[in-house]
Amino acid sequence: MQAILIAIFAALVLRQFVIAAYKIPSSSMEDTLLVGDFLLVNKFIYGAKSPEWIGIPLTQGKKWFIPTGFEVPKSFQFRLPAIADPKPYDIIVFKYPLNPQLDYIKRCVATGGQTVELHNHNVLVNGEPSPVPPMLKYENSNLSSNQNTFTSWTIDPGHYFVMGDNRDNSSDSREWGFVPSENIVGKPLIIYLSLDEQHSNSAIFDKVRWKRLGMVVR
């Protein structure tokens, strides 16, 4: 029993501070990441945070007849030193600023102090073209009047401007603003499993996108 408890504790520590698994729930990062991709995320590189809430998994924010956990006081929370900071072109996992209970994944386009200019499908950072991801996707070839309007943002210090690679179908910094540094969770490493959920009635082996297994996330 002692060995089991130690193993569980070690797994929880690794998940909180080193590496964790995430599933892609939406199409906002297509075709770089697909719905049903399962990722391993490095939480150590950007400085992993201690838990903000402790309790039964998947019950945070939900109403139950009995207590399922508790908020950790701010005075007991801490963050490990970061090995690196997110930089433009990195794909990052972060707490959604409008609801920190949700994890989002987008591509970092600019960091604090930089200026982002957007006109049609052209993205400039400090006046220079932003690197174009190889699997960048535009679903709407007929640009709306809003997309044709020139827009500019100067990123606040300690914040990040993020966008989905599926540029016409992504809720990101263009809509709800910048991501504060304290919301950064980690950097995805590889795809360890990918399931095509459109084939819901198929056998599990028929759902697996075998060619995506082990792909490095870039």
Residue 66 placed within a domain: no
Active-site annotation holder among 28, 130, 181, 194: 28
Q: What digits encode the pLDDT tens for the residues 122-158?
A: 999 999 999 999 999 987 755 444 444 678 999 999 9
CATH of the domain at 125: 2.10.109.10
Does the annotation mark 145 as catalytic? no
The verdict on residue 139 lying in a domain is: yes
Structural domain includes residue 71: no
Establish if 61 belongs to a structural domain: no
The lowest-confidence range among 52-56, 138-142, 190-194 is 52-56
The whole-model pTM stands at 0.83
> Based on the structure, what is the number of domains in the chain?
1
173 inside domain: yes
Task: For the chain, give the percent of residues with pLDDT over 70.
Answer: 75
Exposure of 117 by Cβ count < 10 A (0-12 exposed, 13-18 middle, 19+ buried)?
Answer: middle
* Angle, CA 19 vertex, CA 51 and CA 93 arms, to 5°: 75
Closest to 139 (Cα-Cα) out of 24, 30, 26, 25 = 30
Given CA atoms 132, 20, 161, 196 in this order, what sign does their dihedral have?
positive
Query: Lowest-pLDDT range, 64-68, 90-94, 136-140, 180-184?
Result: 64-68
Q: Does 29 fall in a domain?
A: yes
pLDDT at 15 (0 to 100): 62
The percent of residues above 90 in pLDDT, for the chain, comes to 60
Catalytic residue among 106, 173, 187, 194: 106
Residue 122 resides in a domain: yes
Does 75 map to a domain?
no
| 163 Rama sector, left if φ>0, alpha if ψ -120 to 50, beta otherwise | beta
Q: Rounded distance, CA 211 to CA 187, Å?
A: 22
- The pLDDT value recorded for residue 144 is 46
Q: Is 202 a catalytic residue?
A: no
Range of the domain at 143: 2-47+82-212
Give the end-to-end CA distance of the chain in Å, rounded to a whole number: 41
**DSSP class of 77:** -
What letter does residue 216 receive in the DSSP assignment? B
pLDDT level of residue 63 (50, 70, 90 thresholds): low
